[in-house]
Amino acid sequence: MTIIVSIISDFGLIQASDSNLTASGFSTASPGTKVFPLGFNAGALALAGTYSVGTGAQTMETWMPSCISDYASTDSSPTQAGFANYLKDRLNTDFTPSQRAGPTIIQIVGYVSDDAGVHPTLHVVRNDTAINTTTGAYQGIQPTFQVSEDFWNRDYKIRGSLGPGEYQTYFNGTPDGRIAYFEFMQRFQDFLLNVWSQPNWKFRPPQSLDELASIVELQIRTIGLLYGMSNYAAPSIGGDTQIIKIAPPPGVVSLATGTAP
């Protein structure tokens, strides 16, 4: 698999991934595109899991842009939610049974406009239903994919607001890499908070989308470094970091106050 990371903040949105592609039993890794702009709106997606589609084994590198283009050309008013459901249906149709046998997870982040105003959303298309609490492995793999919106209508409502400079992180990927990413993210954040709190130092939290993206890139590259110094047959995570940064559009709702400017 891989490691994919979605960030939602008042600075903007980030969709990121490593670039290594590996398969069970292979001892080498090759690069592949895992982060794609939507094009029809201010959004992007990242994918983890099966990279070949259909009996002809078309790669996601060519299949996904074609899927995005097909949706945008057939829907007169394309939306992120509409694309997420279209993508679900295409995966259910185009994946072979063996390609559906393992977990595939696609995170789609972007800005939408509805009755609540202009705000970010995160749609997830996936075929797993749970994570094993002992091993961290994805389980409950289903023969069909499902869609959920996990930020605006779920986590943001539970959380209530994001404080100044805070951001929401979503990440998925190979279990060991995902767990290592979580551990590093938590401990590195503690380190940063300690450094930023020193009264006589001039270090500070990120104040722009570019600065926040540099932290995400460092986190992903660190996990790739771990795989480069491991006994795994191939580095499941590594290579160049792929990042798409999405600046907030005019009139976007503040995640700190829940209101538009």
pLDDT in tens, the chain (261 residues): 699 999 999 999 999 999 999 876 666 788 999 999 999 999 999 999 999 999 987 999 999 999 999 999 987 899 999 999 999 999 999 999 999 999 999 999 999 999 999 999 999 999 999 999 999 999 999 999 999 999 999 999 999 889 888 999 999 999 999 999 999 999 999 999 999 999 999 999 999 999 999 999 999 999 999 999 999 988 999 999 999 999 999 999 999 988 887
What pTM was estimated for this model as a whole?
Answer: 0.95
Residue 251 domain-assigned?
Answer: no
Q: Is the dihedral of CA 237, 148, 251, 36 positive or negative?
A: positive
- CATH number of the domain to which 119 belongs: 3.60.20.10
Q: Is the dihedral of CA 200, 206, 208, 210 positive or negative?
A: positive
Which domain range does residue 113 map to?
3-246
Q: Say how many domains are in the chain.
A: 1
Residue 184 domain-assigned?
Answer: yes
Residue 155 domain-assigned?
Answer: yes
Residue 206 domain-assigned?
Answer: yes
Angle between helices 209-228 and 175-196 (to 10 degrees): 130
Residue 259 domain-assigned?
Answer: no
Token pair listed for 152: 């605006």
